[in-house]
Structure 1
Amino acid sequence: MKLIEINKKRYRAHLNRIITACILSLAIGSLGIAQTLIALFPSSSGSHFHWNLIGVIITSLCLGFILIKYKNHSFMAEVAYVWDLKQALNKITRKMRKVRQGVERGDIPAMQALNFYYAGSRQLWHLDDNNITLDELTLWQADLNSQAKKYNIVLDVSQYDVQILSNLN
């Protein structure tokens, strides 16, 4: 994955619209499906929990399908990018112990992965207005830069490839 600059205002506006649409769709869809099922299959006990649950499940599956289908639509570009970025950072997080061990040994791919992680986290935290942890991130980046300097390595986020993680020992 490559890091790209995105318009924060556009991202926030589109994310808010998508969230609002999903909430409304979930409420209307699940209630509509549940009421239809209750009308078709009334219960003498008066409990319709299972029909309500089925309505929520069906609507959630439909929403998931729609979001995946339209993930590549231009309206979803920024939101989909952030979604993919979070997945990429999560993959690195799951291998973080090995990545940090590789950095300590001077392993170039591990340093590139950690550099990508820091750059991606910085972008993500900036988009989410999470300024509290940016100071810590600056310190972590400085530590990584000193390690890279120690081993004469030039860090470049464009050098990161997800295959790096599978090759870490």
Structure 2
Amino acid sequence: MKLQKIDKKLYRSRLNVVIVTCIAVLAASSLAISQTLIFLFPSETGSHFHWNLLGVVVSAIGLAMTLVKLKTHPKMREVAYVWDLKQALNLIYRKKRALDAAAEKGNVDAMLALQFSYDGSRQLWQLDDNTITMDSLNKAQEKLDSLTEEYSVTLDITEYRSEMLKAF
């Protein structure tokens, strides 16, 4: 995955549209499905919990499938990019301990993965206005910078590939 420049205002407005649309579709479709099931199969006891639950589950599955299909739509580009970035960062986070240990020993791929993680996290946090934890990110970046200096390594995050993580 390559980091891309994203317009924050456009991303936020499109994300808000996606969130509001998902909430409205989930509420309307789960209500419609459950009410239809209750009408077709009424319960003598008056409990319709299972039909309501089924309506929510079916609606959520349908909404998820729709989002996957719409992921490539041009109006979803920024939102889909952030979703993909979060998944890529999550893969790195799962291997963070091993990456840190390998970077301490001078492994260039580990340093590259960490640099991608830091740059991606910085972008993500700025897009989401989550700058509270930026200090810890800056400290981690300083540590990585000292390792790259110590081992005379130049990092180019455009060379990062998620396949590199398989080694850790």
* TM-score computed with the length of structure 1 as normaliser: 0.98
Aligned to 1:114: 114
CA distance in 2, matches of 1:42, 1:50: 11
How far off is 1:26 after superposition?
0.6
Give the fraction of aligned pairs with identical amino acids, expressed as a percent.
53
CA distance in 2, matches of 1:35, 1:167: 52
| Runs of 5+ consecutive residues of structure 1 not aligned to the other structure | none
Aligned to 1:3: 3
CA distance in 2, matches of 1:139, 1:95: 19
Alpha-carbon RMSD: 0.7
Q: How does 1:21-40 map to 2 (within 5 A)?
A: 21-40=21-40
Aligned to 2:60: 60
CA distance in 2, matches of 1:45, 1:125: 50
Residue identity opposite 1:61 in structure 2 = I
Number of residues of Structure 1 aligned to a counterpart in Structure 2: 168
2:4 aligned counterpart, secondary structure: coil
CA distance in 1, matches of 2:156, 2:136: 20
Residue identity opposite 2:157 in structure 1 = V
| Runs of 5+ consecutive residues of structure 2 not aligned to the other structure | none
* TM-score computed with the length of structure 2 as normaliser: 0.98
Residue identity opposite 1:23 in structure 2 = I
Q: Give runs of ≥4 in structure 1 deviating > 6 Å.
A: none
Aligned to 1:85: 85
1:70 aligns with 2:70: yes
127-136 vs 73-82, greater mean Cα deviation: 127-136
CA distance in 2, matches of 1:119, 1:60: 33
Residue identity opposite 2:13 in structure 1 = A
